[in-house]
Amino acid sequence: MKVYKTDEIRNVALVGGAKSGKTTLAEAMLFEGKMISRKGSVDDKNSVSDYRPIEQEKEHSVHSSLMHTLYDNKKINIIDNPGFADYVGETIASLSAADTALMLVNGQAGVEATTETAWRQAAKAQRPVVFMVNHMDHHMANFNEAVNSLIDYFGDKVTVAQYPVNPGEGFDTIIDLVLMKQLKFKDGGGEPEISDIPASEMNRANELHLKLIENAAEGSEELMEKYFETDNLTIEEMREGLRLGLISRSIFPVLVGSAKHGIGVARLLDFLSKSCPSPANMPPHVTADGQSFYCDENGKAAIFVFKTSVEQHLGEVSYFKVCSGTINEGVDLVDARSDNKERITQLYLMNGKNREKIAQVVAGDIATTIKLKDVRTGDTLMDSSIVDSGFAPFEIPDPLYIVAIKASNSADDEKMGAVLHEMHKTDPTLGVEYSRELKQQLIKSQGEFHINTVKWYLNKAHNLEVEIYTPKVPYRETITKVANADYRHKKQSGGAGQFGEVHLRIQPFEENYPKPTDIPVRGTEEHALPWGGKLVFHNCIVGGAIDARFMPAIMKGIMERMNEGPLTGSYARDIVVYVYDGKMHPVDSNEISFKLAGRNAFSTAFKSAGPKIMEPVYDVEITVPEDMMGSVMTDLQGRRGMIMGMDSKGKNQVIRAKVPGAEMAKYATSLSSITSGRGVFSMKFDQYQQVPTDVQDKLLKEYEEASQEEED
């Protein structure tokens, strides 16, 4: 294949809601560019993009797919992304490589929840956005309402560049406001028949054309001056204004079409080719240390790996964008993260699962390679003479839906763990962690769809049966009062026995805690606990009641009980211990005896010291449409949430609340149900607070029952 220069390349991410037609449009774009001779479809399970078994079974995209087509001597790279919010990581990664976000909007529905999700990610990535109102062939399609919803949600820089003449069944005609011509398409696509705008449409076309010119002219001062002088712009000047306005995000053009019937697709490709930025037009890629790399094919080589996947017959595939320089087969680059040398042995252009071997890729282009030793998603590979900190990796969203998982057959635990870690490599938004505290394998995800995808791969691709359940809550245990206790450990079973007796006092830890007047402190150890809080250990032994060599053993016994608290087995925290008396045996005393004596004395004192269970509380921020705010607040209060405040944010309301972590286990699913998918939330750990008495009683009962079951 011809090697295209930087200014001959366009990188487009197809984003938008589920069922907006992204995969169908990608198929039509490939067909128009003669990359395929026959269009496949999602329904027939033969589209170029949705080629994976999981996508064919579920009939929607689960992973992003890289494709390319040709038009007007331009190479247009297309990254088709899933529409469901659970797979937002794919969209974020794709936008890091694309230079334009082509956002599809369902002409029957207008702005949907997933449209808003895609918009937020494009705005965060500072990418130009072009809207395409799709499904204009449907009898329920309403272009005007769709556009009004776009303007309503995203502002008056949303500008109509095309509109349909005959929406609904039989749709085939568009008024193009850049060309100021009428375009009539044949069913199936192809180049349109171009004619003058009929008189019946002229008033509307002139009105919308004027607004398009005004917004395009804002792309540069020179164009604005030209517009003021002449009240018009040439087609070339308008295209230049659109390109500049797209880069600065001061204009968001709206196109129209029917991907299913190929109507408007040729003109879309023409628009991408002539009015959208090439990689050379975009701002430079900047490393974490501030070094700028422009898309210059003569510059030093630097590539950014934005995606990793495992493909049949290929193994691990690294998808990358060339940010600078020219990459040839056999070149050695250095990974800025690890300082490892990596050789690019093979280069491929992809069209879904189909690949084409190439020898060279220039700045701005997107390609893939295989058999890299230790390269992760988000890594930067650079020429050895310029190794820097690497380009800043894209931001991974915080997990919203956490579950515990275990293999149905415990013999498969190790295999399951290995598979999950491989899945994390290909999807960084999927967190995998074994919690020593909870003794559970956790999966941290973006939602229930995300988890169901994990389960599908484990079941279908790896033949692993698994159980998924709500994870335990990382409670903490502490005390509220002072208590004394003693314990004698005595064991005799022939030969040397075991003997150790410990007397101790405990009290709650707080800053400047009051120290007792009746116990002299001889030595103090203060331990900041890994799970938060403190343990302060005072040695108050006088007169040699316990030999100093046994004090570490007593401390070890107490720390073991802090690791597994007496109430629910959770971590204990914020406790002061005074060991003030005890007894030894000249023969039978040893470290194990005093460890057990200290541990049991601590447990007895703990239960007498007003013990309390503490729960994690999170700062939760929920963004919802105003008319759904009441239902969301009622739900939060049912979760023991405390509303802290509210603010307006565009058309939405932002609710700030403090909510116990125990009540947030499946909140992502609940919020989506309450708000029809329009609500979004984030949560951040705030602090531990004591649980209410009724909740504590319930937790103690559950722990006691679970302990009895284990013993049985």
The DSSP-derived string for 229-286 is: HHS---HHHHHHHHHHHHHTTS-EEEEE-BTTTTBTHHHHHHHHHHHSPPGGGSPPEE
pLDDT at 592: 95
User: What tens digit of pLDDT does each residue of 19-69 get?
Assistant: 999 999 999 999 999 999 999 999 899 999 999 999 999 999 999 999 999
Alpha helices in 544-615 (DSSP H): 551-563, 591-607
Percent of the chain whose predicted confidence (pLDDT) is above 90: 86
Q: Cβ neighbours of residue 352 under 8 Å, at least 6 residues apart?
A: 47, 48, 49, 51, 65, 66, 67
Domain residue ranges in the chain: 6-201+251-281, 285-386, 401-469, 477-610, 614-694
Query: What SS3 string covers 127-147?
Result: CCEEEEEECCCCCCCCHHHHH
Tokens 């206790």 sit on residue? 485
CA geometry: angle at 102 spanning 97 and 107, to 5°? Answer: 155
| pLDDT over 90 at 493, yes or no | no
Sign of the four-CA dihedral 414, 416, 421, 422:
positive
The two structure tokens encoding residue 532: 């938060």
Give the pLDDT band (50/70/90) at residue 704: confident
Give the pLDDT band (50/70/90) at residue 308: very high
Pairing of strands 252-256, 129-134: parallel
Mean pLDDT confidence for 78-101? 96
Domain 401-469 has CATH 3.30.479.30: no
Burial of 687 (0-12, 13-18, 19+ CB in 10 A): exposed
Domain 6-201+251-281 has CATH 3.30.420.40: no
The two structure tokens encoding residue 11: 């990188």
| pLDDT over 90 at 315, yes or no | no
Q: To 10 degrees, the CA torsion angle through 47, 50, 52, 55?
A: -120
Tokens 């001597």 sit on residue? 73
Q: Distance (Å, rounded) from C-alpha 10 to C-alpha 667?
A: 40
Helix (H, G, I), strand (E, B) or coil at 629: helix
User: What tens digit of pLDDT does each residue of 372-401 get?
Assistant: 999 999 999 999 988 778 998 888 899 999
Written as one string, the DSSP assignment of 69-129 is EEETTEEEEEEE---SGGGHHHHHHHHHH-SEEEEEEETTT-S-HHHHHHHHHHHHTT--E
Mean pLDDT confidence for 613-626? 95
CATH architecture of the domain with range 477-610? 2-Layer Sandwich (3.30)
Q: What ranges make up the beta strands (E) of 509-666?
A: 523-528, 534-539, 571-572, 575-583, 612-625, 642-649, 652-660
Q: Distance (Å, rounded) from C-alpha 200 to C-alpha 178?
A: 18
pLDDT at 710: 65
Query: What SS3 string covers 148-194?
Result: HHHHHHHCCCEEECEEECCCCCCCCEEEECCCCEEEECCCCCCCCEE
Are domains 401-469 and 614-694 of this chain identical in fold?
A: yes
Class of the domain covering 614-694: alpha beta
Nearest to 449, CA basis, from 84, 52, 49? 84
Helix (H, G, I), strand (E, B) or coil at 19: coil
Domain 285-386 has CATH 2.40.30.10: yes
pLDDT at 428: 92
Nearest to 72, CA basis, from 2, 5, 8? 8
Q: Cβ neighbours of residue 414 under 8 Å, at least 6 residues apart?
A: none
